[in-house]
């Protein structure tokens, strides 16, 4: 005599398979990739050492590097030793200490975009910029969501949460982005 499989057991197995499949799909295709960028916005090739591993970065190029959370050491092109700590899943290493712009765009249904831009006014090199802007020239920068080689999404889902999504830009890239989108 054959035993019948319970409909409850079949439902449970289908639910487990659907959950595992959904997680696999999310982690394979949808999850935002996190990485660190060693950037050289200058017009000269630079040599940098991070945790005793040498990197040569061509002018206006960047190198993706793997860093684990915790303390690290960078030797800059001018032989300055900089200690920094990685706490976030993405960051930019700035061995030339060039100026980077971190620009925040508001997302969510409760955000009054006009007030965000009117309240925040910044002047840089005799030019006025409106919006949530921070200029940073630290050796390690990590206060952003979208990295140098990523774009702001064209479409975002509506959300009850109101928040800013920040993107980091090289100085000239930010000026071009701001000119194209806000002037």
E strands, 51-142, where? Answer: 53-57, 61-65, 70-75, 81-86, 91-93, 100-107, 121-124, 127-130, 132-136, 140-141
For residue 6, pLDDT over 90 is answered with no
d(CA 88, CA 112): 28
Using DSSP's 3-state secondary structure scheme, residue 76 falls into coil
pLDDT digits 0-9 by tens, 64-95 = 999 999 999 999 999 999 999 999 989 999 99
* Whether this model's pTM surpasses 0.75: yes
Q: How far is it, in rounded angstroms, from Cα 93 to Cα 96?
A: 9
Average pLDDT of every residue of the chain:
86
Q: Count Cβ atoms within 10 A of the Cβ of residue 85 and give its class: 0-12 exposed, 13-18 middle, 19 or more buried.
A: exposed
pLDDT bin (cut points 50, 70, 90) of residue 116 is low
- Are the C-beta atoms of 102 and 168 separated by less than 8 Å? yes
- Of 116-125, 129-138, 146-155, 168-177, which range is least confident? 116-125
Tokens of 135: 């200029």
| Segment among 5-9, 56-60, 104-108, 136-140 with least mean pLDDT | 104-108
- What pLDDT sits at residue 110? 55
Which tens digit of pLDDT belongs to each residue from 9-63? 889 999 999 999 988 887 777 766 778 999 999 999 999 999 999 999 999 999 9
User: Would you state the pLDDT for residue 55?
Assistant: 96
DSSP 8-state code for residue 88:
S
Query: CB count, 10 Å around CB of 132?
Result: 16
Rounded to whole angstroms, how far apart are CA atoms 121 and 157?
28
């Amino acid at each position: 005599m054959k035993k019948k499989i319970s409909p409850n057991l079949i439902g449970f197995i289908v639910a487990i398979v659907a959950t595992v499949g959904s997680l696999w799909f999310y982690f394979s295709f949808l999850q935002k990739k996190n990485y660190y960028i060693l950037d050289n916005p200058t017009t000269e090739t630079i040599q940098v050492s991070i945790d005793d591993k040498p990197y040569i970065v061509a002018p206006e190029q960047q190198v993706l590097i793997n860093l684990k959370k915790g303390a690290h050491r960078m030797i800059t092109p001018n032989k300055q030793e900089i200690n920094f700590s990685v706490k976030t899943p993405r960051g930019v290493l700035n061995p030339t200490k060039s100026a980077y712009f971190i620009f925040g765009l508001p997302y969510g249904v409760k955000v009054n975009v006009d007030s965000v831009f009117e309240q925040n006014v910044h002047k840089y090199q005799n030019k006025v910029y409106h919006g949530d802007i921070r200029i940073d020239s630290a050796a390690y920068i990590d206060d952003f969501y979208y990295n140098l080689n990523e774009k702001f999404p064209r479409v975002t889902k509506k959300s009850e949460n109101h928040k800013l999504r920040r993107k980091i830009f090289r100085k000239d890239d930010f000026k071009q982005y701001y000119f194209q989108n806000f002037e």
